[in-house]
Structure 1
């Protein structure tokens, strides 16, 4: 299959799963998922499935990345916080849509790997930080958008506090070994509105730093 055919099939898969936002589809066409998948699974980079990466983590399936990005409704002037960098694929897509992306990862090894990839892909508006993402980044707050790529039992308080009024946070919520729900939280003048989007499965949001 040629690269062009593979790209068309990739975009068709996304559309068939409900990713219809033109800006999101354009960003996902621009960012090559193959650059973020290494080793044994490199030849499966364009299939709509999660794949294992280092440190026991996964790169999410593209349709879920697309649906989360679509729900986040990122605008060109937005400052975005991502909790759980993983492979860096989601942050790369956000970087096409936003002014600035801050992404926090607890595994130092993954941070070093993605910095290299971002440099090779020429994505200078992403800042990668080794840290405990459940605390957010108070120094850079408030954020217009926050995306969490690991499941918590409830939306973490520090992250809610770092969301600008009118801002949106998208995250999976639920027990880590059960089905979780993808939730969209919108901060209003007098509190938070919650929308349940769809069932998902993500690794749990853990506190502290990883061993690697």
Structure 2
């Protein structure tokens, strides 16, 4: 069979008139890196809280050399002489009454507890239980009061005897000549050092702190959380 020359010529001409097709560059459909999203958590599965785990207890025996207190004069520890060294013993303030009844200066005691650092970097021995003679006192969780006391605003007046500075060098408050302790934030105390130096007369509106259950003061002090201060006729709001 012969090929029709007309059809061949026509087909050839048609092919020559078609536009040249160019290869298109390959377009990837893959997306870029996915930014990290929020941490995924399984519903109903809360994070495990931080726990101290098991703590090894150590027993020390010795003589109570000196009772110690915090800035509010509330008993919270004592210095124990073991014969070869002295150890700073700390306990919750709520144990002050029960411990002071059986462990006085010069008493022989046995203490069980563990060593721990304080925020100031000091190493202390945290008391868990104390035995003096046939009596043992144990640190137990505090019971919340059935009814919280309602604080009332009172006015206290006096002269500045001194400013109280903690172990980190921060001024925490001022002590009046009648042993009233006025507590203010450190940044306020720094202002008062120049505004109301020692010997200045000051008037304070504030809330008197009541001792908690079991707390004992080594030195009788009235503790006041300041709300307003008046110095040289000018009243300041404490914030």
TM-score range, shorter chain: under 0.3
- Normalised to the residue count of structure 2, the TM-score between the two structures is 0.21
Greater C-alpha radius of gyration: 2
The structure that is helix-richer by fraction is 1
- Normalised to the residue count of structure 1, the TM-score between the two structures is 0.22
The structure that is strand-richer by fraction is 2
